[in-house]
Each structure stands twice: as structure tokens, then as C-alpha cells.
Amino acid sequence: MAPLPPGPRMPRAVQTVAWITRPGPFVLRAQRRFGDAFTIRIGTERPWVMLAHPDAVKQVFTGDPALLHAGKANVILRPFLGRASVLLTDGPEHMRQRKVMLPPFHGSRMAGYRDMVAEIAREHIATWPRGRRLALAPRMQSITLDVVLRVIFGVRESARVDELRPRVRGMVERIMRGSSLFMMATAGPDAIERAGVFKTARRPVDELLAQQIRERRADPGDDVLSLLLEAEHEDGSPMSEQELRDELVTLLVAGHETTATALSWAAERLVRTPGGWDALRAGGERYAEAAGKEALRLRPVVPVVLRHLQAPMTIAGIELDAGTVVAPSVFLVHRRPDVYPDPARFRPERFLGDGPQGGTYSWIPFGGGVRRCVGAAFALMELRVVLAELGRALDAAAPDAAPEHTRRRAITLVPERGAEVVLS
């Protein structure tokens, strides 16, 4: 057996607590001590070999997908997402699903969704209270949920959106709850599915999706679901009802809270950066996009992506056995002073020029390779449009000087106080 690269020697339980409560300082300290590749031990997981250099990240993202599996790490979500989900599969099955899902999310489609997103943002922003301390995170979640319902699922009537919101939120809350994740991880997906544990959380959402699929089949629109209904696999077959249901839930779970969290961090950083909000007000969508990208750099929503080696591989000059988990550290790559001078500082201007920033393997908030986030262009469009609408409509200030620390919510890192601001 090839030895794993060295890493923190604290007991597994201590590393787990550090990873959960102080993930940033924990990996920064390990990197300082052990370099750009080190091993950490979390929970009941196999050891993770963390990779902090863009060259190593490139090797992982461009490596043979048959040897670098990603679906296994997400399999605990199967009772919610379903077997066909692009997040859970690997190999040919994964590519088959991914190929039908990519076209509706291609960059060229974004112009068609943009106005709907802007309208949703304006409707929400108009109702927000001014002049008092306000947490933006739940409000950003409402915006991104409506975007999923209207732009992705193609729900048209406002009354329907109102009816659906609580059902869908109920299911997402259930998934993200620590106790659910613990149960899913310990019992495993087979036992959970046999026992039908999450059936009641799933049913109202499944009913809604079945209805939406029927309606958009009969009367297609400009939404993602309508495009998926037209899509064909390579053999000419359409997506089955089950595939459609599983992928729609996947888009909801992968795209709703992640985008809301990125929006919340952008606001949290902008109000605590001198002149930040003024620059947003003056800078239009161009500055808004740069602020969104910089927020994703400094406060990546997903701090690490995982690949399970199916065969021995040499990465960053280190021989690794089959079964090893390699973990490109989004957080550490984004904190490299050789790529991002003064890396701890929030500076959207980094993303206004054509500098080395935002490189394929040095700006990786959406992962990479054949697993790169399907919704990356969509998420960036949402960030750009919603932040620009915020800047157009509002002044915002920080309620206090203390920056918000990160808090873990399932696999994502969110602002601990929900991105509090005072609006005027």
C-alpha cells in the first residue's frame, strides 16, 4: 500500500469537530504545515487527500472519469433525489443524464431567463422592510426558490407558486436537517428507501412535479422543464417520467440554497467593504457579476469537491492507491497569494480585468471536468441580475462592524447570522 501524504495528527474526532466548526482555519493551518497536499480524517469517511495547487486540481478535473468517481459521495441523498439523478451516477450512466441536462443551461440560453429573474427579484425586494436589522439569507432563499419554480419548473400562476413554496421548502428543510443527514449516512440509502422514511416529505413535491410535467408537455414554454421534455438521449429516446422527476428534484436541491447562500455572502461582504455598496450601485450588472464571483472566491459555498479513485493514480507526484478519496480544496485554491494577491481581502475589482484570476483551475466554486456544476452559467446569471437589482433599488449598511463567520449547513457554508443588513 502506498502511504498517504502526511496531515494533522490530532485524533479523528478532533479533526471532525475542527472541519465542522472552523473549516477555513483548520485547512489553512494544515496547508502551512504540510504543503499543498495533505491528508485529513473526518467522521466515518475514508481519509481525504486535500489538494490545494491548481496543477493538482487540473489533474483531477481532466483525469479519466472512469477512474475518478463523484456520484458515490452523494449516494446518501438517493432517497430524495432518486436513482436517475445526475448527482449520484458515475460512468456512462452519468454522461447519459448529463448530456440531456446541459443544453437548457448553456450560456446562450441565459438571455432568455434573465428578464424573469430580474422581475422575480424586483417583486421580492419591493416588499422588504427598511430601516431595521434584517437577515437577507431567508429572503435570498425566497428569491432563488421562486426562480426554481418559475424558470426551471415552469410554474406560471402566482397562486400556484404561493401554494408550492411551503411544500418545496418543507422537503429541502428536511434534507438539510443535521438529524436527517446523520440518519441517511448511518442507515444508508437502501434501508431508508425500504422503510420509506422520507416518503411524506417527498410526496407533495412529487405530486407537484407530475402535474407540472403534464402541463408543460401539453403547453410548453421558455422554462427548463419544457426544454427537458423536448430533449432526447443519444439513442433518440426521450427522458422517462422517472428521469424527469429525479432531475428536477436534483436541480432544486443543487441550485436553490447554493445560489441563495452565494447571494447572501456577496451582500455580507459588500456592506463590510468600504465603498462596496456604492460601487455596486454605480457599477450595474458588470460590477454585480464581479462581486458575485469574488464572493464565490472568498466564501465558496461548497468548500471541497470529492473524487473516489477507482484505480491507483499519481497526482501531484504522489502515488495513491485505488479507493483513495482526493479532495480539490476550493477554499485553499481560492486563498493562494500567488494567484490572488492579498487573498483574504474582498475585492470585486479582481474580476473586472482580464488577469489570471478566474482561471479554469484557480477559480473553482463550481468544481470541474465532467462533473462541473450544470447550473454554473445559470447561477452566475442569477447572481449578476439579483445583485444588480439590489444595487438599483436599495442602500444597505452593516448593522455592526463584526464580520459574519461561516456556519455549516449540510455540505454548504453559510453566514452565521444570515447576512444581516440595514436597508434604506
Please report, as ranges, the residues that interact with ligand HEM according to CB under 6 A.
70, 86-87, 98, 152, 250-251, 254-255, 258-259, 262, 301-302, 305, 365-368, 371-375, 378-379
- Whose Cβ is closer to ligand HEM: residue 30's or residue 87's? 87
Find cell 462581486 and name the residue.
291
Q: Spell out the residues 6+ positions from residue 420 whose beta carbon is closer than 8 angstroms to its own.
A: 133, 134, 135, 136, 398, 399, 404
Task: Say if CB 320 and CB 326 are below 8 A apart.
Answer: yes
Question: Between residues 8 and 375, which has the closer beta carbon with respect to ligand HEM?
Answer: 375
Nearer to ligand HEM, 8 or 413 (CB): 413
H-state helical runs in 4-109: 12-21, 23-34, 54-62, 78-81, 91-101
- In the complex, minimum distance from the CB of residue 45 to ligand HEM, in angstroms, rounded to a whole number: 16
d(CA 396, CA 268): 10
- Report whether 299 contacts 344 (CB < 8 A): no
Report which of 55, 9, 43, 41 is spatially closest to residue 338, judged by C-alpha positions: 55
Least gap, CB of 321 to ligand HEM (angstroms): 21
| Minimum CB distance to ligand HEM, residue 232 (Å) | 19
- Cβ atoms of 37 and 5 within 8 Å: the answer is yes
Which residue's CB is nearer to ligand HEM, number 287 or number 366? 366
- Closest distance to ligand HEM from the beta carbon of 134 (Å): 22
In the complex, minimum distance from the CB of residue 115 to ligand HEM, in angstroms, rounded to a whole number: 17
Inter-residue contact 329 to 52 (CB < 8 Å): yes
Specify the residue, 301 or 398, whose C-beta has the smaller distance to ligand HEM: 301
Nearest to residue 325, comparing CAs of 10, 30, 44, 92?
Answer: 44
The three three-digit cell numbers of residue 390, written as one number:
439590489
**12 vs 98 by CB, closer to ligand HEM:** 98
Nearest approach, Cβ of 139 to ligand HEM (angstroms)? 16
Task: Report the alpha-carbon angle 216-221-225, nearest 5.
Answer: 55
Q: How far is the CB of 68 from ligand HEM (least distance, A)?
A: 10
- C-beta closer to ligand HEM: residue 8 or 86: 86
Residue 38 contacts residue 6 (beta carbons within 8 Å): yes
